[in-house]
Amino acid sequence: MAVPRASVIRGVLGSPRFSQALTEAMLITAVTAAVLRALLGWSGYLAIVVGLVALGLASLTAQPERIEWRGTLPISLIGLFSVMAVSTLWSAYPGATVQGVAYALCFGVMGVYIALVRDGIQLVRSVGNVLRGVLTVGIALEILSGILLDAPISFLGIAGNLAVGGPIQGIAGTRNSLAFVAALAIITFWIEYRTRSVSSGVATYGLALACLSLLFARSPVSWFVLAAVLTAGLILVVVRRQPARARRRTQAALLITAVVGIAFGWAFRGRLVGIADAAIDVQSRTSVWAQIQDLVEPRVLEGFGWVGPWRPELFPFAAVRDAFGERPPSALNAYVDTVLQLGVIGAVVLGGVLALAVVRAWLVASQRKSTVYVWPALVLVLLITTSITESYLLFELGLMLLVLSVMAASRNRSWRQLLAPRDG
């Protein structure tokens, strides 16, 4: 008897191999967004994104028995996307807000899909596979452009500066984006090595590749971000080795220190960027922040409405210039960008999402034996610190990583699981 075609399709969509392939396709689409748009245009890129979302929803429908929803979708995360959607009501550009919310939801849905179908170690392996490929292709193209051809690859945005020590951007779009991807890769490859998910040779190759990419990117603030991540990692190593009673005292001290540090960092953000040897970028960033502060003052509570990546044809984005007269691609700070688009209301909600996620992820990372639980905590530290000088947290890869990390933390430490009925 022939097997019905619908059953065959359902079997393929719900298979572990399909889930793995789709996960890596989603990650590649987010990591290489700038290059894909350069090659295909916005229409082609959006077609890929919508197609992946449709496949993701179909895959979830095909494997309901494997999906555990209870306690995995945090209310705080739902609140953030709800504020984005509700901002349509007061938006200065309602049509663009609808488009921006739909775009953000696409990456949010992809993040939810990956979090539901991949466990911790599978997630780290998928991210590691993608980042190894992206960094390898990026370095290969930089060698081709900067050494072998000694000419730029203009349509990919590669300037061919490798022979003079950088900056390079690979296929990440910009040098700052490459530095962010390289820092994420260092975290991921280290977790792979610690969990023995890959051979020592593969781990060594990946770490060397990520460090070289970070070095030649010459991103002004990358070392500050990496220092914050490494500090968090070292603290976690110490905390994980402590007995339970000493761990609680240490966690309380760390919480107080973190709150004070965040307040200090926000108050002196311009000077901190300057310490990172980024004098030219300090002037650019502070001028942008000052203009946004003036623009948003009449609508500081609710903002101008969500749009996501800046639309230079719309006000207030068209009115912002950096210190050199050029239009910035974003507010160069995720928190300032949130205030501009969603006002203080959105900033408070985003702060709540990050605070709850960090506390949950940190507690899980410090208490669980496997090193794989450290990944969400360190990724959140990476996102939070990077957000002081870039807006990656709010768009594409950054937004997907936020959803992944928040859901991973919620899955392992959710108050709703305490209310769930127990068997027996």
Rounded distance between C-alpha atoms, residue 311 and residue 322, angstroms? 16
The per-residue pLDDT for 279 is 45
Give the pLDDT mean for 264-285.
Answer: 61
Does residue 82 contact residue 411 with C-beta atoms inside 8 Å? no
pLDDT band at 273 (very low <50, low <70, confident <90, very high): low
Q: Residues 12-49: pLDDT tens digits? A: 888 889 999 999 999 999 999 999 999 999 999 999 99
Q: How much is the pLDDT for 275?
A: 57
Is the pLDDT higher at 68 or at 46? 46
Determine which of 217-221, 281-285, 340-344 has the lowest per-residue pLDDT on average.
Answer: 281-285
* pLDDT at residue 71 in the model: 56
* Mean pLDDT in residue range 45-63: 94
Q: Does residue 1 have a pLDDT over 70?
A: no
- Mean pLDDT of the 192-200 span: 91
Average pLDDT of the residues in 395-417: 83
Q: Tell me the pLDDT of the chain averaged across its residues.
A: 87
Contact of 59 with 13, CB cutoff 8 Å: yes
Residues 6 or more apart whose Cβ sits within 8 Å of residue 13: 55, 58, 59, 61, 62, 63
- Residue range 283-290: mean pLDDT, rounded: 83
Q: Smallest Cα–Cα separation from 397: which of 205, 130, 75?
A: 130
Q: What is the mean pLDDT of residues 343-355?
A: 94
pLDDT score at 423: 45
Instruction: State the pLDDT confidence band at 422, using cuts at 50, 70 and 90.
Output: very low
Burial class (CB in 10 A: 0-12, 13-18, 19+), 24: middle
Say how far apart CA 277 and CA 265 lie, in whole Å.
16
Instruction: Please tell me the distance from the alpha carbon of residue 186 to that of residue 193, in angstroms, as a whole number.
Output: 11
* pLDDT band, very low/low/confident/very high, at 241 (cuts 50, 70, 90): confident
* Dihedral over alpha carbons 277, 283, 285, 290 (to 10 degrees): 140
Residue, of 410 and 309, whose pLDDT is higher: 309
* pLDDT surpassing 70 at residue 350: yes
Quickly list H helices, 63-147. Answer: 75-86, 94-117, 120-143
